[in-house]
């Protein structure tokens, strides 16, 4: 088993942290994982990405070459990082930001990620955790128990309940 | 202790004679350093002398302490590493005007800013002697040098004012004519907890004096005598009377600023106590 | 007991430094190495160590030289342009034989280049960046666990041979996060020790060496009062102008390393046993190469990877042996071609040596490398 994910959006949306949490959840599941990211001027705004590869066997090449899943949380990211999707890939977009969904032949989930974070948690800040809830519910790539544990290991003290709720909000976006 | 006894005690056997030219003031300044150390009765093992590159920086090799003859301009970073890694050492930096204020100028202001406990003895002979007489940032304006055949059009640093502005907490100046003052100031500088700098105005008859027709070694010492003014007297002079002269003595001292290695020990205690 | 973590390569270097007993770091911020400085600023005080952010890269080198003289294990970290600034005092550390470790997380250059993109463009700078004849060690990790292990090894080598060791990283390895298993407690990790004199201070000659050619090095302040200089010196440590002294110093500094290549040079052989064609790649580029070899094997091509872990001294014997074994060698590196010339020299025409140079901000994908490999080997 090898599963490649690319979490993309705008610098400041917390996607690097989301990638780290996902990779840590995979380790908790006793799988292997590598997380990497594009740094650079673009990480201060503009399109940015965080990539995660989860596998049962050793992962040599650390970058995503054939994404099983792309999360796009900005229009620019949807355009820039969808070039290597194919009909087996999944695209999740944040419907608040991505109006023009790239056509690639695979499945698309247009989800109100940031909208739900604002509506149900009062802050768009939780969008990355909402997105994690949705994509894990959709793919089952890590167990929900490990995801919760990984989130709680990384978030600031005092925000645990809000983050758990954010995961639930995200999971509920997948019917 | 006689100079012979001081040499026996503090200079390395077999390393003399030194490389300095006849009439050079560097021997007087180096002698003042060992007299100051002797006055304070410091254990030789507890002293580290760190120098850069240039005529004066050769002093480290002659002295029987823990010594580093580092790279050009880099004495202060090396000294910073030595002192921070082992604060029990008494660190003395030997440097020249070119070494400390040109290639090492950045290091000088930052070592002063940190107020790290060390004593810089800056041998100011107004010239790059080792390479044969090029102008330094402390070559007086209008002087000749091999790289200033038409005289310098660059203004020279007042190193005391520079060090003070950068954060040094002990700033002094003496000349090789005023040797007792020089010894006392170096000793006080070593005792001072923090960054101390003593400018030792020194004659270079061969590379500076000759190009600027300043006469022989004795003439240059007389020039020091006639142009250096003790600070209390200096303070009474008018601007006009000060022209062409310079003050000597303990020019500036503050004791209420935390020394760097002490501050670091407090930082360690804070970190280990779980406080950011 | 151990713990499993997801760590960045740069963070694994920090863990390795703490485990190795590093007590002093002098640094200056530069992407993509800055995490090392940031993390050690937090960690070192917790173990009684000192971190100092110096005014520039040159001063960082000066500070760690000074700290090393007091007997501490020391580190600095940088990237290409900063590495250039450090070169002056790397030469000093070679001449005065000061143990220290310099981490260079390479990025695209020259100059500011592409500060956040991976490169292996400092291969030759690591060897020849400083002035004059000199010899030093450079080692390159290809995984996060290896960042930890090779940091420990850097200290073992540096202290044993009294030589600067360059931990030559790249952005791929420095910034990716990967699984690593670390001991809960570093107390049981063997600490590299610096050889101490066994004579009385009065009889001590600072640069007199036994048959190992490595002189003992007492810390400042313990009675030996020795002299350190960048001038050519004889066994007393004091300057010596004679040509014979220059030659003797150079010969000893060369032989203290190059007589022990078996101890210093490490390579990894991956699928090499029956290999007919070889890829040579290191660091981040090796990550592509493992997978390209796996893909080639699936196609029935007997491919293998030789991964130099020690970059300098060059793996002369290993490459010569390789040239006697395979039909062709492809050197893959993230620069316009540097290491390949060394491989070509060692292969000495026995087999063709090809280059797949990648220098467009991105590591090659395994498919790209496989295609180049097949093209080069006419497969």
Give exposure, B139-164, as e/b (b: 16+ Cβ within 10 Å): beeebbbeebeeebeeebbebbebbb
Domain ranges of chain B: 3-272
Nearest chain B residue to C26 by CA: give it: B81
Q: Does C291 touch chain A (CB under 8 A)?
A: yes
| Domain total of chain A | 1
Q: Which CATH number is correct for C268-377, 3.40.50.920, 3.30.450.40, 3.40.50.2300, 3.20.20.10? A: 3.40.50.920
> In the beta sheet, which residues pair with residue B198?
B121, B172
Provide the CB-side half-sphere exposure for A116 (13 A, CA): 23
**Which residues, 6 or more positions from C9, have their beta carbon under 8 angstroms from its beta carbon?**
C141, C143, C144, C147, C169, C173, C174, C175, C176, C178
Chain C residue with CA closest to B116: the answer is C52
Q: What is the pLDDT of residue B276?
A: 72
| Chains with ≥3 CB–CB distances under 8 Å to A | C
| Closest chain C residue to B89, measured at CA | C221
* pLDDT band at residue C82 using 50, 70 and 90 as cut-offs: very high
Alpha helices in chain B (DSSP H): 3-10, 26-39, 59-62, 75-85, 97-98, 105-114, 159-166, 179-191, 217-227, 231-236, 239-242, 260-272
Q: Where in chain C is the domain with CATH 3.40.50.920?
A: 268-377
Residue C63 contacts B where some CB pair is shorter than 8 Å: yes
**Cβ contact, residue pair B71, C89, below 8 Å:** yes
pLDDT at A41: 54
C116 close contact with A: CB closer than 8 A: yes
CA C178, C157, C35: angle at the middle one, nearest 5? 35
Residue C11 sits at the chain A interface (C-beta within 8 Å):
no
HEC-encoded secondary structure of chain C: CEEEEEEEHHHHHHHHHHHHCEEEEEECCCCCCHHHHHHHHHHHHHHCCEEEECCCHHHHHHHHHHHHHCCCEEEEEECHHHHHHHHHHHHHHHHHCCCEEEEEEEEECCCCCEEEEECCCCHHHHHHCCCCCCCCEEECCCCHHHHHHHHHHHHHHHHHHCCEEEEEEEHHHHHCEEEEEEECCHHHCCCCCCCCCCCCHHHCCCCCCCCCCCCCCCCCCCCCCCEEECCCECCCCCECCCHHHHHHHHHHHHHHHHCCHHHHCCEEEECCCCCCEEEECCHHHHHHHHHHHHHHHHCCCCEEEEEECEEECCCHHHHHHHHCCCCEEEEEECCCCCHHHHHHHHHCCCCCEEEEECCCCCCCCHHHHHHHHHHHHCC
Does B225 contact C at CB distance below 8 Å? no
Query: Is any Cβ of chain B less than 8 angstroms from the Cβ of C26?
Result: yes
Is pLDDT at A45 greater than 80 in this prediction?
Answer: no
pLDDT interval class at B275 (50, 70, 90) = confident
pLDDT at C98: 98
Q: How far is C184 from chain B (nearest CA, A)?
A: 18
For C6, the closest chain A residue by CA position comes to A24
Q: How far is C55 from chain B (nearest CA, A)?
A: 7
What is the domain extent for residue A84?
2-172
Mean pLDDT (chain A) is 94
pLDDT computed for residue B274 by the predictor: 85
Residue C73 has pLDDT above 80, yes or no: yes
A42 pLDDT higher than 60: no
Cβ-defined contact of B60 to C63 (cutoff 8 Å): no
Q: Does the N-terminal peptide bond of residue A28 adopt cis geometry, omega within 30 degrees of 0?
A: no
Q: B20: which DSSP letter?
A: P
**Predicted pLDDT of residue C1:** 83
Task: For residue range A108-136, list pLDDT tens digits in order.
Answer: 999 999 999 999 999 999 999 999 999 99
pLDDT at site A39: 62
Which among B153, B166, B156 is positioned nearest to B127, based on CA atoms?
Answer: B156
Q: Do C288 and A27 touch (CB under 8 A)?
A: no
In this predicted model, what pLDDT tens digit does every residue of B71-83 receive, in sequence order?
999 999 999 999 9
What CATH number did the domain enclosing A110 receive? Answer: 3.40.920.10
pLDDT band (50, 70, 90) for residue A158: very high
CB C108 within 8 A of CB C172: no
Domain B3-272 has CATH 3.40.50.970: yes
Angle, in degrees to the nearest 10, between helices A127-139 and A113-121: 120
- Of the candidates C114, C179, C294, which has its C-beta nearest A27's C-beta? C179
Distances C123 to A171, B147, C169 between C-alpha atoms, Å: 48, 39, 10
Mean pLDDT across C145-174: 98
Yes or no, beta carbons of C225 and B64 under 8 Å apart = yes
Looking at residue A40, what is its pLDDT? Answer: 56
How confident is the model over B220-235, as pLDDT tens digits?
999 999 999 999 999 9
Query: C333-351: per-residue pLDDT in tens?
Result: 999 999 999 999 999 999 9
Q: Which of A33, A35, A39 sits opposite C116 (nearest CB)?
A: A39
pLDDT at C277: 98
Do C179 and A33 count as a contact with CB atoms less than 8 A apart?
yes
Show which subunits contact B, needing at least 3 CB pairs below 8 angstroms.
Answer: C
Confidence at residue C299, expressed as pLDDT on a 0 to 100 scale: 98
- Residues in contact with A147: Cβ distance below 8 Å, sequence separation at least 6, in sequence order: A21, A22, A25, A132, A133, A136, A167
* pLDDT for the residue numbered A43: 47
Q: Is C32's Cβ below 8 Å from some Cβ in A?
A: yes
Beta-carbon contacts of B224 under 8 Å, excluding residues fewer than 6 positions away, are: B175, B176, B177, B178, B201, B203
Q: Which residue of C has its CA nearest to B67?
A: C227
Mean pLDDT of C117-128: 97
Spatial separation of the C-alpha atoms in residues A142 and A151, rounded to whole Å: 12
Query: Which homologous superfamily does the CATH classification assign to the domain defined by C2-188?
Result: Thiamin diphosphate (ThDP)-binding fold, Pyr/PP domains (3.40.50.970)
Chain B residues touching C219 at Cβ < 8 A: 86
pLDDT at residue B55 above 90? yes
Residues of C in contact with A32 (CB under 8 A): 179
Q: How far apart are CA C121 and CA A151, in angstroms?
A: 38
Q: Would you call B81 and C48 a contact, using CB atoms and an 8 Å cutoff? A: no
Cβ pairs bridging A and C (under 8 Å): 59
Using pLDDT thresholds of 50, 70 and 90, give the confidence band for residue A47: confident
Residue B134 DSSP symbol? B
A37 touches chain C (CB under 8 A): yes
Minimum Cα–Cα distance from A19: chain C residue: C177
Least confident of A21-30, A36-45, B196-205: A36-45
Residue A142 pLDDT exceeds 90: yes
Q: How confident is the model at residue C47 (pLDDT cuts 50, 70, 90)?
A: very high
Which residues on A lie below 8 Å from C363 (Cβ)?
61, 63
């Amino acid at each position: 088993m090898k599963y490649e994910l690319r979490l993309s959006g705008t610098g400041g949306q917390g996607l690097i942290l989301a990638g780290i949490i996902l990779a840590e959840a995979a380790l908790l599941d006793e799988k292997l994982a590598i997380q990497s990211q594009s740094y650079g001027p673009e990480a201060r705004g503009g399109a940015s990405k965080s990539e995660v590869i989860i596998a049962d066997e050793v992962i040599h090449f650390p970058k995503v070459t054939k994404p099983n899943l792309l999360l796009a949380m900005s229009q620019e990211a949807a355009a820039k990082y969808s070039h290597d999707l194919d009909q087996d890939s999944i695209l999740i977009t944040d419907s608040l930001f991505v109006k023009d969904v790239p056509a690639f032949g695979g499945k698309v989930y247009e989800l109100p990620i940031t909208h739900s974070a604002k509506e149900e948690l009062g802050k768009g800040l939780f969008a990355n955790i909402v997105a994690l809830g949705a994509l894990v519910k959709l793919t089952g790539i890590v167990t929900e128990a490990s995801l919760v544990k990984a989130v709680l290991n990384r978030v600031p003290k005092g925000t645990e309940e809000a983050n758990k709720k954010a995961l639930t909000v995200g999971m509920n976006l997948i019917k | 202790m006689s100079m012979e006894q001081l040499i026996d005690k503090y200079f390395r056997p077999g390393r003399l004679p030194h490389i300095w030219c006849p009439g050079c003031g560097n021997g007087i300044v180096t002698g003042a350093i060992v007299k100051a150390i002797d006055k304070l009765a410091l254990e030789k093992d507890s002293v580290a002398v760190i120098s850069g590159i240039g005529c004066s920086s050769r002093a480290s090799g002659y002295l029987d302490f823990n010594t580093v003859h580092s790279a050009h301009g880099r004495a202060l970073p090396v000294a910073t590493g030595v002192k921070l890694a082992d604060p029990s050492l008494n660190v003395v930096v030997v440097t020249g005007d070119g070494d400390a204020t040109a290639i090492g100028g950045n290091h000088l202001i930052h070592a002063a800013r940190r107020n790290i406990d060390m004593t810089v003895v800056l041998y100011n002979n107004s010239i790059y002697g080792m390479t044969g007489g090029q102008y330094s940032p402390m070559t007086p304006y209008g002087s000749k040098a091999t790289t200033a055949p038409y005289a310098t059009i660059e203004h020279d640093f007042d190193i005391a004012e520079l060090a003070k502005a950068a954060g040094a907490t002990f700033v002094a100046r003496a000349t090789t004519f005023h040797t007792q003052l020089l010894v006392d100031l170096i000793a006080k500088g070593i005792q001072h907890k923090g960054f101390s700098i003593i400018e030792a105005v020194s004659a270079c008859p061969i590379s500076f004096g000759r190009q600027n027709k300043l006469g022989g070694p004795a003439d240059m010492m007389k020039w020091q005598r006639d142009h250096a003014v003790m600070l209390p007297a200096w303070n009474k002079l008018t601007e006009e009377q000060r022209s062409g002269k310079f003050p000597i003595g303990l020019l500036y001292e503050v004791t209420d600023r935390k020394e760097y290695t002490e501050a670091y020990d407090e930082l360690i205690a804070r970190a280990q106590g779980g406080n950011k | 007991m151990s713990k499993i973590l997801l760590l960045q390569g740069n963070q694994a270097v920090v863990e390795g430094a703490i485990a190795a007993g590093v007590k002093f770091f002098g640094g200056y911020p530069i992407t993509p190495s800055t995490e090392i400085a940031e993390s050690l600023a937090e960690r070192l005080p917790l173990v009684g160590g000192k971190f100092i952010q110096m005014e520039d890269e040159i001063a960082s080198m000066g500070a760690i030289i000074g700290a090393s003289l007091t007997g501490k294990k020391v580190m600095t970290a940088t990237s290409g342009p900063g590495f250039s600034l450090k070169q002056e005092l790397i030469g000093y550390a070679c001449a005065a034989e000061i143990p220290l470790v310099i981490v260079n997380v390479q990025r695209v250059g020259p100059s500011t280049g592409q500060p956040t993109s991976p490169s292996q463009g400092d291969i030759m700078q690591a060897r020849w960046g400083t002035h004059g004849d000199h010899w030093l060690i450079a080692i390159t990790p290809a995984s996060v666990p290896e960042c930890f292990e090779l940091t420990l090894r850097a200290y073992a080598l540096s202290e044993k041979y009294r030589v600067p060791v360059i931990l030559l990283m790249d952005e791929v390895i420095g910034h990716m996060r990967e699984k690593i298993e670390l001991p809960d407690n570093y107390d049981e990790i063997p600490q590299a020790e610096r050889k101490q004199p066994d004579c009385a201070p009065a009889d001590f000659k600072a640069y007199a060496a036994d048959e190992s050619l490595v002189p003992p090095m007492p810390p400042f302040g313990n009675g030996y009062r020795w002299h350190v200089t960048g001038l050519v010196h004889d066994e007393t440590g004091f300057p010596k102008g004679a040509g014979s002294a220059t030659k003797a110093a150079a010969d000893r500094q060369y032989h203290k390393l190059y007589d022990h290549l078996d101890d210093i040079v490490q390579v990894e052989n991956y699928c090499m046993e029956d290999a007919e064609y070889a890829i040579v790649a290191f660091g981040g580029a090796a990550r592509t190469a493992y997978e390209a070899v796996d893909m080639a094997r699936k196609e029935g091509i007997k491919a293998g990877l030789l991964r130099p872990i020690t970059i300098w001294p060059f793996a002369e014997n290993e490459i010569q042996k390789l040239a006697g074994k395979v039909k062709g060698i492809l050197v893959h590196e993230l620069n316009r071609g540097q290491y390949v010339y060394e491989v070509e020299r060692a292969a000495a025409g026995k087999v063709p040596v090809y280059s797949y140079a990648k220098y467009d901000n991105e590591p090659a994908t395994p498919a790209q490398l496989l295609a180049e490999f097949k093209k080069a080997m006419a497969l």
